[in-house]
Amino acid sequence: MKLIMTCKIPDELMNPIKEKYEVVTVESDHALMSRKRLLGEIVDADGLFTNVADHIDEELFEQAKKLKVISTMAVGYDNIDLQEAKKRGILIGHTPGVLTEATADLTFALLMATGRRVKEGADAIQNNEWKGWLPFYLTGQEIYGKTIGIIGMGRIGVGVARRARGFSMNILYHNRSKNEEAEKDLGATYVELDQLLKKSDYVVLLAPSTKETYRMMSTAQFQLMKKSAVFINTSRGSNVDEDALYEALQSGEIWAAGLDVFENEPISANHKLLQLNNVTALPHIGSAAIETRMNMARLALENLVNGLEGRPLVHQVI
Ligand SMILES: NC(=O)C1=CN([C@@H]2O[C@H](COP(=O)(O)OP(=O)(O)OC[C@H]3O[C@@H](n4cnc5c(N)ncnc54)[C@H](OP(=O)(O)O)[C@@H]3O)[C@@H](O)[C@H]2O)C=CC1
Ligand SMILES: O=CC(=O)O
């Protein structure tokens, strides 16, 4: 059987797979397979190992005559057209759980860096702009004891709430359904979205990208937030109206934003949001801890091989 891997993973994981299957992948650790090559190779492939950057859309499904399983090295699968996959009986696997703690770590790190202006401080030294101690130089927002509002209290949201509890934060959350466990174990309080936005010092977005969440944070939502509030997005860029966010940050409607994800990735240095001092931006590295990425790759391979050999996937989307 032929497998396509649009990204390279370490040999220790890849070699046992190569012994059993014909594996087509990229040569470099630093590049993904081009769309053109993927569309060519997919024609006679049985399995596809993918990631958040590939668009697994109708055009690709049309080409894929033999495809049985798609396994993404990610928990989010918004880049895969599930309807097209279902129509063709193609299984989809993903990697929830193994990346929860690393992504919660990065989300909280971004919250702290944004609230306390860590990037601006580091840049000031680097650019020789530090003139000495001043009473209100680079003053940020306190974190300890403040109110955090988590939109999307799922696996990673709960991980962030656990970290927030260590900082004695008051925890609000909003989901479509209540998370009773988070309420009991973490003292989190369910509120409607408007209330969360009005009351939170830190608003953290961790809901998946769906039709319902598309640009769920736009002008009206930013207007409800405190002028001193910090907005953190480690979910998906499409959940946020980036023009509305820019306006809110520039006009002082909200205080700062920490972003790990963008609507069209990768962004370049001339992206509008990067022109603002009150934006801390990262290149979609939520789960990028070595052990985590190894575990994600292992799990994604297991999903792929299980599907090809007729066994249940460990984590199956459809
Ligand atoms: N930056 C990065 O590198 C990473 C980003 N991610 C992103 O984080 C997301 C969350 O992952 P994970 O925590 O594992 O997923 P979960 O499915 O465990 O959590 C998602 C949460 O969002 C809530 N939710 C879904 N739809 C809505 C809605 N319309 N309004 C409000 N809340 C909603 C769900 O609750 P309910 O169903 O009750 O509404 C659930 O609590 C992923 O989908 C991915 O996009 C994940 C890993 C790394
Ligand atoms: O964005 C990453 C994911 O795992 O989803």
Query: Looking at the structure, do residues 168 and 179 belong to the same domain, yes or no?
Result: yes
The SS3 of residue 34 is coil
Ligand 2 centroid–CA 93 distance in Å is 13
Q: What are phi and psi of 82, to 5 degrees?
A: -65, -35
Same domain, 73 and 149: no
- 126 shares a domain with 70: no
Using only the alpha carbons of the chain, give its radius of gyration. Answer: 21
pTM: 0.98
Name the band, by pLDDT with cuts 50, 70 and 90, for residue 57: very high
The b-or-e profile of 7-33 (16+ CB within 10 A means b, else e) is bbbeeeebeebeeebebbbeeeeeebb
Would you state the pLDDT for residue 189? 98
Q: Check whether residue 92 and residue 216 sit in a common domain.
A: no
52 with 185, same domain? no
Q: Do 88 and 210 reside in the same domain of the chain? A: no
Look at residue 181 and tell me if it is in a domain: yes
**Is 298 an active-site residue?**
no
Q: Are residues 147 and 44 in the same domain?
A: no
Best mutation site among 82, 217, 235 for ligand 1 pocket (most ligand atoms within 8 Å of CB): 235
Q: Judge if 28 and 69 occupy the same domain.
A: yes
- Convert the pLDDT of each residue in 206-265 to its tens digit: 999 999 999 999 999 999 999 999 999 999 999 999 999 999 999 999 999 999 999 999
| Co-location of 82 and 151 in the same domain | no
> Is the peptide bond preceding residue 208 cis, with omega within 30 degrees of 0?
no
173 plus 123 within the same structural domain? yes
Read off the pLDDT band of 192 (50, 70, 90): very high
- Do 83 and 105 share a domain, yes or no? no
- 226 located within any domain: yes
- ipTM of the modeled complex: 0.99
Q: Is 80 in the pocket of ligand 2 (CB under 6 A)?
A: no
Q: Are residues 132 and 270 in the same domain?
A: yes
Residues 254-280: tens digit of each pLDDT: 999 999 999 999 999 999 999 999 999
Q: By residue range, what is the domain housing residue 67?
A: 2-97+290-308
